[in-house]
Amino acid sequence: MIFEPKAECQDPGERRALQSARLRALVARLADRVPFYAEKLRAAHVLPGDIRGVEDLPRLPITRKTDLRDTYPFGLLAVPRRECVRIHASSGTTGRPTVVAYSAADLELFSTVVARALAMAGAEPGMLLHNAYGYGLFTGGLGLHYGGEKLGMTVVPVSGGMTERQVLLIEDLKPDVLCCTPSYALTLASEFAKRRVRPEDLSLRFALHGAEPWTDGMRAQIDRGLGVRCTNIYGLSEIIGPGVSNECVEARNGSHVMEDHFYPEILDPATMQPVEDGQEGVLVLTTLTKEALPLLRYWTGDITSLTRGPCACGRTLVRMALIKGRTDDMLIIRGVNVYPSQVESVLARCEELAPHYRLVVTREHNLDALEVEAELDAAFAREIVRETLSDEIVEADTQLQALRGRVAHLLHDTIGVSMKVTLLPPGAAPRSEGGKLNRVADQRPRP
C-alpha cells in the first residue's frame, strides 16, 4: 500500500514546483530567524529573493556537522527552544553529541515519513511491529515507534539488546514486521538457528534495516535467515532520523527519498559540484519543511547515487542506491580508497564464510596494511572439524589455506589492494548487541 499516494506518486514536474516554492520560503525564513544562516547567506552574496527554485541550490552554502557542534546545543534553532517538544542526539563517538530538536509539526512530519517508509517496506495497518531499534536519544526507536502507530500498526517497543527476550517475544507475539540494524538481524537469525527454529516457521514477513551500511549479500542472508523480504531504511538525526528514504518491497532497487520534504543532491567531494544521475558522490540534503532545525544542504558524508524514472511500485520519488560507506569511514590503503562495504560484498560471495568480519588497519614500515578477519561458516567449520577428528588434519589445514588464498585473491582482484586474510572460528567476529556495529579497528598511529 502507499501511505500518501498523492505526494508519493506526484508528477515529477509538479513536485519540482512544490520543492522550489518550499525552498524559497525556507531561505527567507533562515535569513530572518537564524543568525548563523543570515551570515552565511551574506557571505555567499545571496539575497533570499535571488533564489528561484531548486536549480539555484548550488549557490547556497553547505552545512556541516561541525556547524552543529560549533553552535551546540541550540544555536541553529529557527524557533524558540520552548516551542520544541522533543530533543534527540546522535551517538557522537568522539566529542560532544549532535543535538537536534523537533517542533510539534516536525514530530508530525517524522511519524508521517516513517509511516510512508513502513508502507514501502510492506507493512499495513493492523500488522504487528517488533521494534528492536534502540529507544532513547537515538532517533531509531522512537522514530519507528510513532511511524508504526501512525500507520495503524500494533507496535511492540522492545528496543535493542537482550536477544533471549527478543527471540521469545517474536515466537510468542508473532510479529509481521521487524525493524533493527542489519547486523542485529543476523544476530537474531543465528539465535533462531541455534534453537532450531526454522525461518519458514517464523511469523515475520517484512523487515526494515538501516542505521549502518549493509550490502545485497547481507540482505540475502537476512531474507533467508529470518524468512522475510527485507528493505533498506535510511536516515540521520540531523535531517529527521529514519524515514529520509526507504526501498519499496516490490522493486528493492534503490530507496525512495521523501524528496517533497528532504531534497537530495549528490556532490563530487573533490569539486563540490553536482554529479549526473547514476554517478556516485556525497549525499547532501536540504530539509524543505522542517520548523525547529531546518538545514540547508547538509553534508551527510554518505556515498550513494540517484536514479529517476518509473518504479514497479508506482511511486515517482527519486531512488538512492545502498550507501557504499561514509567519506569518513573510507580507508585509504596505500593510496587506494577502500570501503568496508566493498570487502563485505566480496566475503558474501564465499559460501565457506559467515557474514561476520572485522577489518584491522595497521602501519608496518610506513606502509598501511589491511587485515581482513573473516569468520568461517558454522556448517563448513563442522565439516572441517569432522575431517580433523578423522585424523585428516593435514587435509583440513590444506583446505583452510586454499580458502585463505582464494579470498585474498578475490579481494585483490575486486578492490585492487592486497590484504592479509585471517580466518576466525564461528562466533569469533564481533556481533551486534542491538546498536550500530563498528567493524573497523584502525590501529595506525594518529598523524
The angle, 0 to 180 degrees and rounded to 10, between the axes of the packed helices 35-43 and 12-33 is: 110
The nearest distance, CB 161 to ligand ADP, in angstroms, is 17
Angstrom distance (rounded) from CA 166 to CA 154: 16
Q: How far apart (Å, rounded) are the C-alpha atoms in residues 5 and 248?
A: 13
What minimum distance in Å lies between the beta carbon of 143 and ligand ADP? 10
Please state the three-class secondary structure of 69-86 as a single string.
HHCCCCCCCCCCHHHEEE
For residue 90, state whether it binds ligand ADP (rule: CB under 6 A): yes
Residue 236 binds ligand ADP (CB under 6 A)? yes
- DSSP structural state of residue 289: S
Q: Which is nearer to ligand ADP, 141 or 225 (CB)?
A: 141
Annotate 190-227 with DSSP letters as a single string: HHHHHTT--GGGS---EEEEESS---HHHHHHHHHHHT
Residue 311 in the binding site for Zn ion (CB under 5 A)? yes
Residue 368: closest CA among 437, 442, 428: 442
- Residue 61 C-beta: closest distance to Zn ion, Å: 33
CB nearer to Zn ion: give 273 or 307: 307
Q: 6: Cβ–Cβ under 8 A, 6 or more apart, which residues?
A: none
CA distances from 244 to 78, 303, 361, 409 (A): 21, 15, 32, 38
- Which partner, Zn ion, ligand ADP, none, binds residue 311 by CB below 5 to 8 Å per kind? Zn ion
Question: Could you tell me which stretch among 55-63, 69-77, 88-96, 395-403 binds ligand ADP (CB under 6 A)?
Answer: 88-96
- Which of 225, 221, 126, 232 minimizes the C-alpha distance to 179? 232
Chain positions 132 to 171 lying near ligand ADP, rule: CB under 6 A, are 138
Binding map of ligand ADP across residues 14-53, x = CB under 6 A, - = no contact = ----------------------------------------
For the chain, counts of helices (H) and of strands (E): 12, 21
CB nearer to ligand ADP: give 234 or 262: 234
Partner touching 213 among ligand ADP, Zn ion, none, CB below 5 to 8 Å by kind: ligand ADP
3-state helix, strand, coil in the chain (%, to 5): 35, 25, 40
**Stretch of residues binding ligand ADP (CB under 6 A), selected from 12-20, 90-98, 118-126, 399-407:** 90-98
Quick one: CA torsion of 239, 243, 245, 248, rounded to 10 degrees? 180
Provide, rounded to whole angstroms, the least separation between the CB of residue 372 and ligand ADP.
Answer: 20
Any contact of residue 211 with ligand ADP (CB under 6 A)? Answer: yes
Residue closer to ligand ADP by CB (options 19, 237) is 237
Q: Which residues bind Zn ion (CB under 5 A)?
A: 248, 251, 311, 313, 315
Q: Which residues bind ligand ADP (CB under 6 A)?
A: 90-92, 138, 210-213, 232-237, 300, 302, 323, 326
